[in-house]
Structure 1
Amino acid sequence: MDLSLPIDVVENISEKDFKEKYFDPQIPVVIKGLTNGTFAGKNWSLDYFKRTMGHHTVPVYDNRNPNKGSAFTQADLQMKFGEFLDEIRKEGGNNIRMFLFDLFKLNPELSKEFPCPDLASGILGKLGRMFFAGKNTTVRIHYDIDVSNVFHTHFGGKKRVVLFSPAYNSVLASKLK
């Protein structure tokens, strides 16, 4: 049984329309083109991050860890960011990933390269987090306990995202503990 629903895809939406049509009623939307005209949209790539930040040591999570079913896991290993990026590019994929990582803290210049769009201004403009993973990496189903609105900006590769309506929060929260 296919329970999927279409999600609107828009380009260049006004802040007012975004708030009225999507944010206030909590309806997901794909907004294309937000990186157009930014340094990040033209230059950010795995090669760019390796060249500019590859020397930093970063926390890495391994999906083969038997405790990966818990939402409260510690990083499985530490490695240089450049080595991590080389690993996730390997053909066939792998099981390692980084999530909720604040590269902006390591390199404040990144926030100038991709300023937070007006649509996500306010506190979100100060909370940039990044997720990196290789081909075929999966992340367990999870419920964000802070019930945050995620402004996900995708820079490369393919990603499949499954969203649940806030109406199911109580069911998901109890099943995922």
Structure 2
Amino acid sequence: MHLKPVNIVSGYSREQFTSEFVTPGIPALIKDFILPESQEILTKWNYDYFKKEAGDTLVAVHEKENAHLDKATSQAGNTMKFGDYLDLIAAAPTESRLFLFNLLRERPDIRKELQVRKLADNLLTWLPFLFFGGEGSSVRYHYDIDMSHVFLTQLHGVKRVWLFPNDQANLLYRLPWNFHGLADLR
């Protein structure tokens, strides 16, 4: 396997970004994706802020995603208050994670704080999800069956991401009509 570093870019026009990255399907780390008027969220959006703003919101907590490679998705193990979940992941390593918790739909006032550059058509900026996982949590490899352009903004901690080109999809043991595959890439 030949691993390549991801391009780190900034200052791209919509046309430039589309022709150099979107059309050929090349991933990029965009340094200026969040607009300057929203830059404060990079420090403001922390566990204390989210607990204050939405700590009483009930969330479905998922466990050990990689334990169920033969299933389309894992079921939530239990529910708890969002603030309690944030305390849990801050306290110690855990595999507990939130999947498709749309805090920004639950709290549209928080959504208004995030303004991003529109660098290409068909971006999912209208459907922002926040994913949370503690140290030690992971998800099995997945893909978007609609081939949408997805943006990942890491606000806290470290995340390892492996990206595979679409022309390798038939080698990844994908489940039909699903967004997961059978291979455990760990």
Match of 1:95 in 2: 95
Question: Relative contact order, CA 8 A, sep 6+: which one is greater?
Answer: 2
Change in Cα spacing, 1:32 to 1:123, as seen in structure 2 (3 Å) is closer
> Aligned partners of 1:20 and 1:130: how far apart in 2?
28
Indicate conservation of the 8 Å contact 2:124/2:148, yes or no.
Answer: no
Indicate conservation of the 8 Å contact 1:143/1:169, yes or no.
Answer: no
Deviation of 1:66 (Å) = 4.5
Of 4-13 and 75-84, more deviation after overlay is shown by: 4-13
Match of 1:33 in 2: 32
Indicate conservation of the 8 Å contact 2:122/2:148, yes or no.
Answer: no
The structure in which a higher percent of residues are helix is: 1
> Aligned partners of 1:41 and 1:90: how far apart in 2?
22
Indicate conservation of the 8 Å contact 2:65/2:74, yes or no.
Answer: no
Deviation of 1:151 (Å) = 1.1
Match of 2:3 in 1: 4
1:70-103 Cα shifts (integer Å, max 9, x gaps): 2322211111000000111123x11100122211
Deviation of 1:61 (Å) = 0.3
> Aligned partners of 2:120 and 2:15: how far apart in 1?
12
Match of 1:20 in 2: 19
Indicate conservation of the 8 Å contact 2:22/2:120, yes or no.
Answer: no
Indicate conservation of the 8 Å contact 1:143/1:173, yes or no.
Answer: no
> Aligned partners of 2:172 and 2:80: how far apart in 1?
33
Question: Equivalent pairs: percent with the same residue?
Answer: 35
> Aligned partners of 1:4 and 1:174: how far apart in 2?
21
Taking the TM superposition and a 5 Å limit, the aligned residue runs for 1:1-150 are 3-35=2-34, 36-38=36-38, 39-63=40-64, 66-67=67-68, 70-91=71-92, 93-119=93-119, 124-150=124-150
Indicate conservation of the 8 Å contact 2:61/2:77, yes or no.
Answer: yes
> Aligned partners of 1:109 and 1:132: how far apart in 2?
19
| Equivalent pairs, count | 175
Match of 2:178 in 1: none
Structure 1 runs, 4 residues or longer, greater than 6 Å off: none
> Aligned partners of 1:15 and 1:29: how far apart in 2?
14
Change in Cα spacing, 1:163 to 1:123, as seen in structure 2 (3 Å) is closer
Indicate conservation of the 8 Å contact 2:55/2:83, yes or no.
Answer: yes
1:19-49 Cα shifts (integer Å, max 9, x gaps): 1110111100001133343142341111111
Of 99-108 and 121-130, more deviation after overlay is shown by: 121-130
TM-score w.r.t. the length of structure 2 is 0.83
